[in-house]
Amino acid sequence: MTPDQIKALVRTIPDFPAQGIQFRDITTLIGHGEGFGASIDWLATAAHNSGAQAIAGMEARGFIFGACVASQLGIGFVPVRKGGKLPCATISVDYELEYGVDRLELDPTGIDDGQVVVIVDDLLATGGTAAAATQLLRQAGARVEDAIFAIDLPQLGGAKVLADKGVRMHSLMQFDAE
């Protein structure tokens, strides 16, 4: 499938979660076997080309895409969890959301010092979650230089946030403001 055919599988829901927002819903993409497979193939190729030795994905949809990419490449998956979800000693970082603060955590024993870890997630918007995950992974000893997304919303500036942290952004598709 072409990127345009894959993009056509993403459902747009107007005015969710608030008036004026065009929500890009990936459930229609992951529910389409051929389209989901083609998305994973593209993401896996980009991760391979980035020299990935492990894939990190943020809870929750990053787990879907990231774990599939890691499996396809035959490398490990590092789950970056929301606060309070891991039963072991963790490291954590707090980061700002549009309306408050959230926390990401991970088990640092799952990362080797200097290991090349590529972030894979479903969507890049403002870049806050991906930037926090980058900080956390680097704190654990990872080299994070690339982040790969199924969808980029370029008007929200996430690519610049990541570039300011020395992370290259790659995306399968983009949706502009409508």
Per-residue pLDDT of 67-101, as tens digits, reads 999 999 999 999 999 999 999 999 999 998 766 78
Burial of 18 (0-12, 13-18, 19+ CB in 10 A): exposed
Per-residue model confidence (pLDDT) at position 160: 98
Mean pLDDT of the chain: 95
State the average pLDDT over residues 125-135.
95
Per-residue model confidence (pLDDT) at position 101: 86
What are the tens digits of pLDDT across the range 50-73?
A: 999 999 999 999 999 999 999 999
Instruction: Provide the token pair at 106.
Output: 């991970």
CATH architecture of 3-174: 3-Layer(aba) Sandwich (3.40)
Alpha helices (H) along the chain: 3-7, 27-30, 33-49, 61-73, 128-139, 158-164
pTM equals 0.95
Per-residue model confidence (pLDDT) at position 96: 82
